[in-house]
Each structure stands twice: as structure tokens, then as C-alpha cells.
Amino acid sequence: MRFTDRLLAAEKRADSLLCVGLDPEPSKFPGAWKGDAGRIFDFCARIVDATKDLVLAYKPQIAYFAAHRAEGQLEELMAYIKRNAPEVPIILDAKRGDIGATAELYAREAFERYQADAVTLSPYMGFDSLEPWLRWDGRGLFLLCRTSNPGGSDLQAQALADGGLLYEHVAKLAAGDWNRNGQVGLVVGATFPAEIERVRALAPTLPLLIPGVGAQGGDAAATVRAGWRAAAGSATGPIVVNSSRAVLYASSGDDFASAARAVADTTRRALNAAR
């Protein structure tokens, strides 16, 4: 099954556009777990248990594990999600961007070691930085296109000789020559709804991973209006709207999992209402 088809199936099953980002920060853990990096798996597993029927996908950010020497806990978490929520795709947020043998090894890390269903990549070394990843049949590749950080404009909003902008060029390539096996999607920040709409127009069939709703200030309704398929059954690609901190740290008490569920459900309902 293509990754896009897995997303569509998950969207239908959970009636959800919401992706929960798993960005564990031990300093924000509740109660006796606070500051204990040995509890990263436990914390994330509790979040998964509380939200797995509400989400379209999970997005663990690899740096939050690696910085605490917790790659083993990430492996354990990925396997846990596969066992306990097998219908929920997992997007490994790694933002890799290299070529040749190095890219091949990064792909093995993401898809073999961590069992990810998709990964985030930087496309700025061109197609040969993507080609090793495309060999993994059925896996998804989300390319950075128009990111939610203000500094993204330093490069992504630069005008090209033909009058277009760099992020628009990336969207065109991703929807065209680069998408050889139907595996490619794009990352577009929720803080730029006009750009989401522009990317959707340039790449109508690609999945869009949209971070920035919640703590980063992205507006859920504006995000959906900009990127959602206009009519049921249309060919427009799915959207994956990510919220991390607002869900994970909804409470600093022992009720953190139930609080995370409540915020996730509220966000899911807000996204659905905008469809």
C-alpha cells in the first residue's frame, strides 16, 4: 500500500486530520518523572495509549531522543506503536539531507532500524539526495517546502529568474519529476496559510504535512481551509496537521495523559469543523 493510501485510510478510520508530534522533553514530564530521561518511552507510550483512536499519524522528532541518548527508547516506542496502533502511520521527523552512501544509510536508519512509515527530508541538495529514499517502496517522503519558522523566508521566499519563489519551485518539482513512485509529500507551516493554499494549487495530489498548530500559533481553521480537499472524492491529497507541545504538555500532573487526550480531541474537532 502506498503511504498516501495509508494516510487516507487512517483519516477515514479516526475521522481526523490530526497528527500528534512526539517531542519528549524530560524537564516537562509530570511528577516523579520530571527530569528523568529514562522515562521517555513511558511518557510517549502513555500519550499514544490516550490518543491512538483520535489521530491520523504520529510524528516523533528524532533529536528529542538522540540528545538524551535515548535512541533505544525510540526504537522501543516505534515498535510499541506498530503493535498497539498498527493502523496509525508514523512519520519520523529527521530532516535528513545528504547524498550517495550517506543518504542510503540514513534511509536504513529511518526505515529499517526505526520502522518509520515516512520521513521528513531537506531537498536542497537536489534529486540525488532523494533517490536513495525512493528505493524504499511504499514509504513516504515529506520534503521541506515552506516551513513555519520566520527565518524560512531567508531562502524559501527568494525570487527566481522566472519570477517564481524558491518554495514554489520545490513544490513543482515534488509534484512532477521528483515524485517518480508516488511517495512524495511536502512540509508547509500552519503559520503561513496563504502559502499552504499556493502549495496546494501547485501540488494538488500530494500529502501536506502541516506543523505549527497549537504552541507555534498556527490557526487550525485557516490551515484546513487552505489545504483541505474541496470535495469528497476529489483527487487532492490529504493534509496532516501536527500539534506537539499543546497536546503533550496539556497538564504537568498525573492526569497528563487524559489532559493530552482532551486537547487532542478538541483540536481534532476544530480541524474537522473547518472541512
pLDDT tens-digit series, residues 126-162: 999 999 999 999 999 999 999 988 898 999 989 999 9
Q: Which of 12, 34, 52, 95 is catalytic?
A: 95
Per the structure block, which three cell numbers stand in for 15?
A: 475521522
2 has pLDDT over 70: yes
Is 95 annotated in the active site? yes
Domains of the chain: 3-156+177-273 (3.20.20.70)
H or E element at residue 208 = strand 208-210
Whole-angstrom Cα distance, residue 89 to residue 220? 21
Per the structure block, which three cell numbers stand in for 148?
A: 513555519
More confident residue, 232 or 97: 97
Cα 136-9-244 angle, rounded to 5 deg: 80
Q: Which residues pair with 61 in a beta bridge?
A: 93
Taking alpha carbons only, the member of 221, 199, 215, 216 closest to residue 250 is 215
Query: Who's near 22: CB < 8 A, 6+ residues apart?
Result: 44, 47, 48, 58, 59, 60, 61, 64, 77, 244, 248
pLDDT tens-digit series, residues 166-197: 999 999 999 999 998 899 999 999 888 889 99
CA atoms within 13 A on the CB side of 138: 8
Whole-angstrom Cα distance, residue 273 to residue 115? 33
Sign of the Cα pseudo-torsion (232, 240, 210, 111, in order): negative
Strand, helix or coil for residue 83: helix
Could you tell me how far CA 8 lies from the centroid of its own chain? 15
Burial of 243 (0-12, 13-18, 19+ CB in 10 A): buried
Strand, helix or coil for residue 123: coil
pLDDT tens-digit series, residues 75-130: 999 999 999 999 999 999 999 999 999 999 999 999 999 999 999 999 999 999 99
Q: What is the pTM of this model?
A: 0.94
Q: Looking at residue 206, what DSSP letter applies?
A: S
